[in-house]
Amino acid sequence: MNILGIETSCDETSVGIVDGDGYVRANVIATQIDIHARYGGIVPEVASRQHVLDIRPVCEQAVRDAGLDWGDIDAVAATHGPGLAGSLIVGLNFSKGLSAALDIPLIGVNHMDGHVYGAWAITEDHGLEPFQELIGEQPIMCLVVSGGHTELVLLEGHGKFRLLGETRDDAAGEAFDKAARVLGLRYPGGPEIQRVAEGAPETDPLPRAWMRGTDEFSFSGLKTAVLTRARKLGIYPPNGASGGADPDVVGGLAKAFQDSVIDVLVTKTISAAKRENCAGIVLVGGVAANGPLRQTLKEKSPLPVAIPPFKLCTDNGAMIAMSGLVNFRNGRRDDWDLDIVPSLRIGTSALV
């Protein structure tokens, strides 16, 4: 069997196809990063109109990449939330049309569940067989860190999620994007901060918000701390006339910021996983693309850690197809009447 997954919750139009074993046969991602970069964040209406243009060619490309015909697709899965309303509508409506035209089941997928199940999708260099066997006996701790969310989710069985805690203010990715703006770096800020922090000199650490006694997070104080220190160091507001800020100063502050985020995420995830007697830890979401975060979690965790490859970390259709496959196996078929579930806010929006 083959499930086609459609993801349009934010600024990526993506279509992926997985087979009945969860093997990724195609994962086409049309990113709008360059379009939004000039605004310093996502402009929702621009995003939804670009989805309108990209959805059909991306879908056709995925079917071609998989070496399939339309008749080989057995079900379509689509993100129905959370995300930007206008963007979600494009993908969900297209998938409703596709399932009607092909006379195949339609499965609505929660975007965050999709991120988690991205870790279960199998590619040439990634497979989670040990985790697949473990699930059901002991829970798995999932840290979902993206531009709009920072969540600790306990996976108690396939398709059975329990939200333990989330951010009270900014998401981790949002904090990366906003700190990058203060440092004069381009959008999206995560990869930029990682780049300038690499090999940067050590500086005074920035504060950590531990939110002790809870599984919650908070990053807005850290964002303010970056702003305050950037002002003291004279790198904010940016002064174009002086020829730009000293790269060591920018890199040092970026590193202090990144270290603080990683310390909190890793420490809290490991302690929650031990407390809940978990079999392992899964790290997913766009921020899971961060090299030092991946490395620190693997080094410090006494439990096995699984992190999908980069293309399955940031928003993609294969993770939606994978979650669709799990739901299909659990008996989900007809989400014809499904509406979108938008987020009240998306952290990476240029308007926030």
Which residues lie near Zn ion (CB under 5 A)? 146, 315
- Residue 252 vs 342, nearer CB to Zn ion: 342
Shortest distance, CB of residue 15 to Zn ion, whole angstroms?
15
Q: How many CB atoms lie within 10 A of CB 11?
A: 30
In the bound complex, what is the minimum distance in angstroms from residue 320's beta carbon to ligand KG4? 12
Stated as kind and residue range, the H or E segment containing 282 is strand 280-284
Residue type at 165? G
Site for ligand KG4, rule CB under 6 A: 10, 146-148, 173, 176-177, 188-191, 194, 285-287, 289-290, 314-315, 348
Token pair, residue 18, equals 């997985």
Please answer whether residues 269 and 218 qualify as being in contact, where contact means their C-beta atoms are separated by less than 8 angstroms. no
What whole-number distance in Å separates Cα of residue 215 and Cα of residue 298?
Answer: 20
Q: Which residue is nearest to Zn ion (CB)?
A: 146
* Least distance CB 170 / ligand KG4 (angstroms): 10
Q: Which is nearer to ligand KG4, 245 or 284 (CB)?
A: 284
Q: 209 contacts which partner out of Zn ion, ligand KG4, none, CB within 5 to 8 A by kind?
A: none
Q: Could you tell me whether strands 2-7 and 12-19 are parallel, antiparallel, or unpaired per DSSP bridges?
A: antiparallel
194 binds, among ligand KG4, Zn ion, none (CB under 5 to 8 A by kind): ligand KG4
Q: What three-state secondary structure class fits 25? A: strand
Nearer to ligand KG4 by Cβ, of 95 and 146: the residue is: 146
Q: How far is the CB of 171 from ligand KG4 (least distance, A)?
A: 7
Q: Count Cβ atoms within 10 A of the Cβ of residue 199 and give its class: 0-12 exposed, 13-18 middle, 19 or more buried.
A: exposed
Helices marked H in the chain: 33-37, 44-65, 85-102, 111-118, 129-134, 172-182, 189-197, 220-232, 247-275, 291-300, 310-313, 317-329
Residue 5 contacts which entry, Zn ion, ligand KG4, none (Cβ below 5-8 A, type-dependent) = none
- For residue 154, give every residue at least 6 positions away whose Cβ sits within 8 Å of its Cβ, in sequence order, or none: 139, 140, 141, 142, 161, 162, 164, 276, 278
Please identify, using beta-carbon distances, which residue of 73 and 197 lies nearer to ligand KG4.
Answer: 197
Helix (H) and strand (E) counts in the chain = 12, 10
C-alpha–C-alpha distance, residues 252 and 93, integer Å: 46
Which option in Zn ion, ligand KG4, none does residue 191 bind, with CB closer than 5 to 8 A by kind? ligand KG4
Which amino acid is it at 257? Answer: F
290 binds, among Zn ion, ligand KG4, none (CB under 5 to 8 A by kind): ligand KG4
DSSP 8-state assignment for residue 15: E
289 binds, among ligand KG4, Zn ion, none (CB under 5 to 8 A by kind): ligand KG4
Q: CB nearer to ligand KG4: give 91 or 148.
A: 148
Q: Nearer Cβ to Zn ion, position 43 or 245? A: 43
CB of 288 to ligand KG4, least distance (A): 8
Report residue 3 as tokens: 């499930």
For Zn ion, give the closer residue by CB, 151 or 315: 315
**Minimum separation from the CB atom of position 161 to ligand KG4 (A):** 16
Question: CB 12 → Zn ion: shortest distance, Å?
Answer: 8
CB nearer to ligand KG4: pick between 13 and 99:
13
> Shortest distance, CB of residue 71 to ligand KG4, whole angstroms?
32
